[in-house]
Structure 1
Amino acid sequence: MLELQIAKLTKDAGQISPDRRKLLESIAAKILESDNLPALNFICTHNSRRSQLAQVWAKTAAHYAGFSGIECYSGGTEATRVPNATLDALRKQGFIIGKRGDGNEPLSVSYAPDAPELELFSKKFDHPANPDRGFLALMTCSDAADNCPFVPGSNGRFALTYQDPKVSDGTPEEAATYLERADQIGREMIYLFNLLKR
């Protein structure tokens, strides 16, 4: 099912606006100018929705585009938890979500049978699980983009912001809104890694 979703999102690249394409092309150029492929750290305020979706989709897109060596991380300016709506959107897209341990987090995300699972949990961007140097900081929300003008250890910083699906929490539109955001992020990450193949 995930392979079908990847094919659909690849085909839907025309939905990406010209401004977003330029931004993604700038990120691709920065990745390619590095001697070694840099890690990507997606940063948002709570590390619960957009940054988590971006981490999962970036690692997935990297793997399917032949860039399995690129490591993808996420973090927040504070740590909270990954809400069920985020996980439900990933499941609907075809990801397999599992638990590690007794609590709610960390979670495991399987995106390919021949790849190690991703570990998902809400954490600050400078958590020991994340790189402390040699990474690109990709700010997925405007609050983090505004409040973190400098990310220590990063080789570059881009404001790749997305609308927060949290606005739909508790409404009849919640599931559709989260899935729409997950699709948008997936589409853009696939586009980004396809640029690197050229």
Structure 2
Amino acid sequence: MKLSAFKNQLSQLEQIAFKLPDGSLVPSHFHVTEVGKVVKHFIDCGGTDRLETVVNFQLWEANDYDHRLHPEKLVSIIELSQDKLGLPDVEIEVEYQAGTIGKFGIDYNGEHFLLTNKLTDCLAKDSCGIPPEQLKNLKFNFLKPKIHVHQDLVVVNLKYKMMFSTLEQTITDLNIDGITLSRKRILDQLKDYIQSQIDKEQKVNLNFICTHNSRRSHLSQSWAQAIGSFYGINNLQCYSGGTEATALFPEVTEALKDAGFQVEKLSQDENPVYSIRYNETDHPIIGFSKKFNAAFNVQQQFAAIMTCSSADQGCPLILGASARIPITYEDPKIADGTDRQAAAYKERSLQIASELKYVFSEIKL
């Protein structure tokens, strides 16, 4: 949808609603924090110099649940941007922060603005020298990493998902041989869920849940997203939450940094927000403490992975979950304030990572 069509539709509405590709609605207290122009100057694989321009909207939600953005207010923001930035009448791209920041196209269905998935394509098919009947397979292999096995070493070639080298080495070195058969049977529930979603060509949504969303659930979310990327599972989105919200414990971020993640603290309040990156290209994981059913998280068609027994027992029902899988871990909190604190968090982090490596290494793409 171009900017002029969007403005014309806004002028006919009394309220604004955005619907995500999975059918869920963006919470009604959203803000449009930015309206801007993004220019992409690049050379395609056929050597052609290209210039593309889009109008960019950034959607965001805070905890001000009474906030509502009225159509006339958004029109005024757009018109100010047109005046100051010279916005052209081009296609709109929407950025929306859920588990990570996603980019969407936009359409209208007569009731809601639809955030539509954006797809990549080759702009120089004639220059690639690949027969048209092979282009479908080319796109698939373009995204799928090549995995080479040399004795006990697995080397993953991620051309366009450049994982940080320290983290890639950490994942490569993880030893899954020590996982017991009984533990594997528990982990296989998660493996089977992921495989089923992939076989059905559906998105894999995982929500890792513990009591306070401060330690184990964040470690699990971060490692699942990173290891899934390592094994080329592109349609994966990981979340975390608690039965109550507290704060992400700082030693968790230290354990992740020690493993090779890049972590940046984005706010300084009692429940700070962190950017957690595992490669150069994907949007970062946004880490902060929240309830498992917070608007920030997936609301339907997901697996709820219970990472602590108290949350498993305290949540008899997870609305919207299509699977509930208990994979519990000992809380590293028991070492807080002792000389074993850093070691305990590193140990739990690598245990979770090793078990998730077992899960994702078994997935057939």
Q: Give the match's secondary structure for 2:207.
A: strand
| Cα distance in structure 2, aligned partners of 1:98 and 1:155 | 33
- 1:129 and 2:319 aligned: no
Question: Equivalent pairs: percent with the same residue?
Answer: 40
Name stretches of at least 5 consecutive residues in structure 2 with no aligned partner. Answer: 1-165
Q: Could you tell me whether the CA contact under 8 Å between 1:31 and 1:37 is conserved in 2?
A: no
| Cα distance in structure 1, aligned partners of 2:359 and 2:347 | 18
TM-score, with length taken from structure 1: 0.95
TM-score, with length taken from structure 2: 0.52
TM-fit CA distance, 1:193: 0.9
| Cα distance in structure 2, aligned partners of 1:46 and 1:193 | 26
| Cα distance in structure 2, aligned partners of 1:98 and 1:197 | 34
Q: Give the match's secondary structure for 1:132.
A: coil
Q: Could you tell me whether the CA contact under 8 Å between 1:59 and 1:68 is conserved in 2?
A: no
| Cα distance in structure 1, aligned partners of 2:268 and 2:288 | 13
Which range is displaced more, 44-53 or 27-36? 27-36
Q: Could you tell me whether the CA contact under 8 Å between 1:55 and 1:73 is conserved in 2?
A: yes
Q: Which residue pairs with 1:27 in the alignment?
A: 190
Cα distance change on mapping 1:37 and 1:196 into 2, 3 Å:
farther
TM-fit CA distance, 1:99: 2.2
TM-fit CA distance, 1:68: 2.4
AA aligned to 1:189 is L
Q: 1:46 aligns with which of 212, 216, 221?
A: 212
| Cα distance in structure 1, aligned partners of 2:360 and 2:281 | 19
Name stretches of at least 5 consecutive residues in structure 1 with no aligned partner. Answer: none
Q: 1:89 aligns with which of 255, 263, 268?
A: 255
Q: Which residue pairs with 2:168 in the alignment?
A: 3
| Cα distance in structure 1, aligned partners of 2:324 and 2:215 | 20
| Cα distance in structure 2, aligned partners of 1:79 and 1:153 | 20
TM-fit CA distance, 1:102: 4.7
TM-fit CA distance, 1:143: 0.2
1:48-86 deviation digits (Å, cap 9, x = unpaired)? 000000000000011011012210000000000011111
Q: Could you tell me whether the CA contact under 8 Å between 1:43 and 1:144 is conserved in 2?
A: yes
| RMSD across aligned positions (CA) | 1.3
Q: Which residue pairs with 2:224 in the alignment?
A: 58
- 1:151 and 2:318 aligned: yes
| Cα distance in structure 1, aligned partners of 2:196 and 2:235 | 16
TM-fit CA distance, 1:147: 1.0
Q: How does 1:164-183 map to 2 (within 5 A)?
A: 164-183=331-350
AA aligned to 2:303 is L
